[in-house]
Structures are given as structure tokens and as C-alpha cells.
């Protein structure tokens, strides 16, 4: 594994409790690479993503993410791994009792930031880059779904992550807004040389905005050109 490799899984088996979901998984994602993750509902996409951010422990095989050995993680080191990741979900998971700016402050404090000036500078920088600087005092319910997902992308980029894990991030958005969110994420990731693993059911996006495709299929994980249907 080179220093440019952000995700490296070798012969990994993934379980939900005692139920094996995926077997013999081999996956490499390089720094700055954009990868789609596809597969039918129940095919193991979310389980794979959860393994990468340590919501599911790695039991067998070898795996590293951002230099962390997934088998050696514990309560102290899991938060350190997650500080190197940005996570974007289909549900925005914004705190509805505070405004957009305060949502980002909350995330920064959780990642160990405590310098108010640096926090303000980083927050303003990212809100400007996602086109929401003028809405920093708005409450989440006062902006659209697409704008909320832009806030989530800003939140995911706060700590200069090496990898963004996006689990159906456009699933609740209309096609036009989905395209805007995807293009924004790809643009910002490229500017920051951040790898992205983007799980989606939207095959229209794959056709319109091509990139490497990884598929969960019959309990295995394949690069798309290797799939035998």
C-alpha cells in the first residue's frame, strides 16, 4: 500500500451481527479518486460503508482507511479515524435547534477545534464555497433540501478529510438538485484532492457524470468491468 492509497481492503468479510453480508472483499481507493458504489437494496452497500468508518468492526481480512488499521481500532482511536473522514447521509442530520453556522461550529468542536477565530474562518470559507454564505444565520428548516445537503457537504469538508463517504446523499432530492449537489461535491473533492465513495441508486447520475463504478453483487464487491451478471 502506498501513501496515496486511502482505502485498502484485502480479503475482508463483513458481518451484520452474525450474518455475513459480504465476502472476500478487495477494494482500493486512491487519494483524490471519485468512486460510485452501486448495488440492489440489501446488497451490502451500507454495511461496506459502515465498515470503513468503523460503525461495523472488521473481524476477518485486512483493512486500512487513512492509515488506520481497522482491526486495531478502539474507543480512543475510532474518533481519530473519523476526523480524517467526511460523512454525508441521505438524511441531512442537521441540528434543528441551531442555525447553519452553529451547526458547523458544533461539528468543529466535536472534532477538537477550539480556536473561535479559526472556526469562524473555516466555517465562512466553506459556506461561501457551497454558495450559502448569505444563509449562515438561517435555521435548517428555513432552507431547501438541496441547500441543507450543501450544508452537509460543507460540514463533511470542515476538517480537511482524506475521504468522503456519501451514502445515498441525493436520495431525497429531485433530479436537477441531485445533479447540482453531485457536481458540487465532485468539484470540492477535486480541489481538495479528497477521495469520495458515493453510494447511489440513481443510474441516471452514473450515465451523466461518469466515474469508476464499484458494485455490490451476490455477496461480493466488484469493479464494474469485472461484473458477471
Mean pLDDT in consecutive groups of 10 residues from the start of the chain, 229 residues: 82 92 96 94 92 94 96 94 90 90 94 93 94 94 92 92 92 87 89 93 90 95 66
- The CATH number that applies at residue 59 is 3.40.50.300
Domain presence at residue 183: yes
* Residue 170: predicted pLDDT: 85
Positive/negative CA dihedral, 146, 203, 11, 34 = negative
Between CA 170 and CA 173, with CA 172 as vertex, the angle to 5 degrees is: 65
Beta-carbon-side half-sphere exposure of residue 160 (alpha carbons within 13 Å):
3
pTM value is 0.90
Q: What pLDDT does residue 66 have?
A: 95
pLDDT at 172 (0 to 100): 80
Q: How buried is 171 (Cβ within 10 angstroms: 0-12 exposed, 13-18 middle, 19+ buried)?
A: middle
Per-residue pLDDT, 86 = 93
Gap between the Cα atoms of 125 and 105, Å rounded = 13
Provide the number of structural domains found in the chain. 1
The pLDDT of residue 228 is: 39
In the prediction, which pLDDT does 17 show? Answer: 85
Q: What pLDDT shows up at residue 155?
A: 93
Nearest 5°: phi and psi at 82?
Answer: -65, -20
By the 8 A CB rule, do 209 and 46 touch? no
Comparing CA positions, the residue from 170, 178, 133 lying closest to residue 151 is: 133
Q: How far is CA 90 from CA 3, 145, 167, 193, in A?
A: 31, 10, 6, 23
The domain in which residue 31 lies consists of 5-96+160-226
Is residue 123, in this structure, part of any structural domain at all?
Answer: no
Amino acid at each position: 500500500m502506498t501513501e496515496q492509497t486511502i482505502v485498502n481492503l484485502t480479503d475482508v468479510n463483513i458481518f451484520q451481527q452474525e450474518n455475513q453480508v459480504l465476502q472476500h472483499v478487495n477494494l482500493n481507493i486512491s487519494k483524490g479518486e471519485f468512486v460510485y458504489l452501486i448495488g440492489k437494496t440489501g446488497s451490502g452497500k451500507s454495511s461496506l460503508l459502515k465498515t470503513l468508518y468503523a460503525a461495523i468492526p472488521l473481524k476477518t481480512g485486512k483493512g486500512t482507511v487513512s492509515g488506520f488499521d481497522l482491526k486495531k481500532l478502539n474507543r480512543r482511536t475510532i474518533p481519530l479515524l473519523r476526523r480524517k473522514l467526511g460523512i454525508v447521509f441521505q438524511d441531512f442530520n442537521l441540528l434543528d435547534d441551531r442555525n447553519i453556522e452553529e451547526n458547523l461550529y458544533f461539528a468543529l468542536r466535536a472534532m477538537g477545534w477550539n480556536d473561535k477565530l479559526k472556526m469562524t474562518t473555516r466555517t465562512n470559507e466553506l459556506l461561501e464555497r457551497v454558495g450559502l454564505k448569505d444563509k449562515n444565520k438561517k435555521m435548517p428548516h428555513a432552507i431547501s433540501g438541496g441547500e441543507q445537503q450543501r450544508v452537509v457537504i460543507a460540514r463533511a469538508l470542515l476538517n480537511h478529510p482524506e475521504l468522503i463517504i456519501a451514502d445515498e446523499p441525493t436520495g431525497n432530492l429531485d433530479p436537477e438538485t441531485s445533479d447540482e449537489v453531485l457536481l458540487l461535491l465532485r468539484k470540492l473533492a477535486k480541489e481538495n484532492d479528497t477521495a469520495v465513495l458515493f453510494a447511489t441508486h440513481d443510474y441516471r447520475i452514473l450515465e451523466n457524470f461518469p466515474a469508476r463504478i464499484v458494485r455490490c453483487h451476490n455477496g461480493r464487491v466488484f469493479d464494474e468491468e469485472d461484473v458477471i451478471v
